[in-house]
Chain A
Amino acid sequence: MRKIATGNKAVAEAVKQARPDVVAAYPITPQSEIVETIAEYIATGQLESQFIPVESEHSSMAACIGASIAGARTFTATSSHGLAYMHEMTNWAAGARLPVVMVNVNRALAPGWNIWAEHTDAIQERDTGWLQVFVSTVQEAYDTTLMAFRIAEHNDVLLPVMVNLDGFTLSHIMQPLDTVEPGDFIPPVHTPNPVDPAHPGGYGTITGPADQFRFRYEMERSMQQAKAVIGETEQEFARRFGRTYGAAEEYRAGDADVVVIALGTLGKEAEVAVDILRNEGIKAGSVRPRWFRPFPDLDLAGKEVVVIDRDYSFGFGGVLAHAIRSKNLTKVYCVIAGLGGQEVTYDDIAEFVRHRRIGEEFWFGVNDRV
């Protein structure tokens, strides 16, 4: 059924269809609409789920962990400081191998108190063991949230999954949405070893130096296995529902001399810049990584690379740019743009490409030349 929906509403709709057993969540702008809509679904009987209106985000993840250990399918949503407040427990959820699904609406960190889009919040979770995907349209937000449950709960994965939406730019924009009847696309939840007095054991007990590293290794093994599971899930989604996704979305990149790489909505708006540049005779293309963890293999051979980082690692540099440098062993032109919701248009992106200086870092709006 085709209708107009915001990114937040699309996520809530997907969650309703995924039928989590427990939703523990706390409001924060610009995510609150997700939690409110889910609460409305539960109150009106459209979704049979336990809603726990926790008193903080640390508690939302702790509650999801508790429910998941008991065998529940769980969901939560947050942004920015909520995610940061959760950080101790996001580490825990991954280490405990729990298939929690979380939607994070990307928002800058304070101070200053800024509620607009920036990726640093999710990027700061990159070492936790969570799978992470960045979406760029309302449709993709819906489809990916559905897929997230199936991927997280797969036996070869059993790691939590974070779906990222740009704050306001995607969470609040209204775009066309086609909802589906999932049927059995998401199998019934089945976590190994749910808490059971008949089978007692410790969950996360003291673990010594001779054993801890093995658990960490197992997490990485599952993260690597996740690549195949993601691929298989996306293929099955395409077969059933007709929409195809991949680890990255390429636009006119095949024969491109220069590609623009960006996460989220900037990666989608970059396609408009690509068309403008092509009309000028510049063979541009865009590559929008969707999956950030596990980090995808991108084919950038023979191309100049312009990376837009909507994040920063102080004393180190743009995180996406560094990831590409090290994975692809290539120099890049790193543009720091969009922090705190800074407006970046397709014209700006086209300028980044026209005036690229490979090997350099450029802070849009600060450096006095493009």
Chain B
Amino acid sequence: MYEIRIHSRGGQGGVTAARLLATAALHDGKFATACPFYGAERRGAPVVSFVRIDDRPIKVYSQIREPDLVVVLDASVMDVIDVLHGLKTGGRVFINSAHPREFAGFAAHHADLTGIALKENLVVSGSPILNTPVIGALAKLGIISPGSATSAIREMFADERNVRAAEAAYREMIV
């Protein structure tokens, strides 16, 4: 079982990213579950979402304690949250960032999702959409296939800019 924890802020689409990831895994013929963790969920407050992917049905409902991958959609949550908490030895970090970031010895990857979203004009109510480009980035990490990343996005969104943003993130990601 592969476990992913996604850190974002309320209103940024972290929950949708979890859903897209699970959908893409489904398209890959796998089993997946995704769940947001609700504290006092208010716009702007830090939010955590969990995704589990496995080849067999997933019977676990309790929180992910030792993720294989930590995804940080908004770097500012790191001021209040220890995003590395529980990350497995050998686990990886992905961060939405224009520049490489160091994470205490864990393998770290980055892509400028915000820049990609702005370039594609993928903006709603003044905020760049991060949840579709991040799926492209995670496909480059091999979590899901690029084909399923696209089909999952198309299942949820009619606007092709989302697919283009995901493809741009896929290209930009260095693994």
**B-contacting residues of A (Cβ < 8 Å)?**
2-4, 166, 168-170, 172-176, 265-266, 268-269, 271-272, 343-346
Chain A's closest residue to B63 (CB) is A343
Give every chain A residue within 8 A of B58 (Cβ-Cβ): 175
Interface contact A175-B33, CB-CB below 8 Å: yes
Give every chain A residue within 8 A of B59 (Cβ-Cβ): 268-269, 271-272
Q: How far is the CB of A32 from chain B (nearest CB, A)?
A: 13
Chain B's closest residue to A117 (CB) is B61
Using A173-B34, A174-B35, A175-B33 as known contacts, say yes or no to A3 and B60 having CB atoms under 8 A apart: no
User: In whole angstroms, how far apart are the Cα atoms of A265 and B60 in the complex?
Assistant: 8
Interface contact A174-B62, CB-CB below 8 Å: no
Give every chain B residue within 8 A of A345 (Cβ-Cβ): 60, 62, 65
User: In whole angstroms, how far apart are the Cα atoms of A272 and B58 in the complex?
Assistant: 9
Q: How far is the CB of B31 from chain A (nearest CB, A)?
A: 6
Using A3-B23, A3-B26 as known contacts, say yes or no to A174 and B18 having CB atoms under 8 A apart: yes
Interface contact A3-B38, CB-CB below 8 Å: no
Using A3-B23, A3-B155 as known contacts, say yes or no to A176 and B61 having CB atoms under 8 A apart: no
Secondary structure at the B interface, as helix, strand, loop or mixed, is mixed
Interface contact B62-A269, CB-CB below 8 Å: yes
User: In whole angstroms, how far apart are the Cα atoms of A169 and B34 in the complex?
Assistant: 11
User: Which residue from B22, B31, B35, B62 sits with its C-beta under 8 Å from A343?
Assistant: B62
Give every chain A residue within 8 A of B140 (Cβ-Cβ): none
Interface contact B26-A176, CB-CB below 8 Å: yes
Q: How far is the CB of A207 from chain B (nearest CB, A)?
A: 46
Interface contact B19-A4, CB-CB below 8 Å: yes
B10 at the interface (CB under 8 A from A): no
Interface contact A172-B38, CB-CB below 8 Å: yes
User: Which residue from A2, A3, A170 sits with its C-beta under 8 Å from B61?
Assistant: A170
Q: List 23 A-B contacts (CB under 8 A).
A: A3-B26, A3-B155, A4-B19, A4-B22, A4-B23, A4-B34, A168-B38, A172-B36, A173-B34, A173-B35, A174-B34, A176-B31, A176-B32, A266-B61, A268-B59, A268-B61, A269-B61, A269-B62, A343-B62, A344-B62, A345-B62, A345-B65, A346-B60
Give every chain A residue within 8 A of B63 (Cβ-Cβ): 343
The 9 closest A-B pairs by CB, nearest first: A345-B62, A174-B34, A173-B35, A265-B61, A4-B23, A4-B22, A169-B61, A175-B33, A268-B59
User: Which residue from A166, A174, A265 sits with its C-beta under 8 Å from B22?
Assistant: A174
Give every chain A residue within 8 A of B19 (Cβ-Cβ): 4, 174
Give every chain A residue within 8 A of B26 (Cβ-Cβ): 2-4, 176
User: In whole angstroms, how far apart are the Cα atoms of A344 and B63 in the complex?
Assistant: 9
User: In whole angstroms, how far apart are the Cα atoms of A268 and B31 in the complex?
Assistant: 16
Give every chain A residue within 8 A of B32 (Cβ-Cβ): 4, 175-176
Chain A's closest residue to B36 (CB) is A172
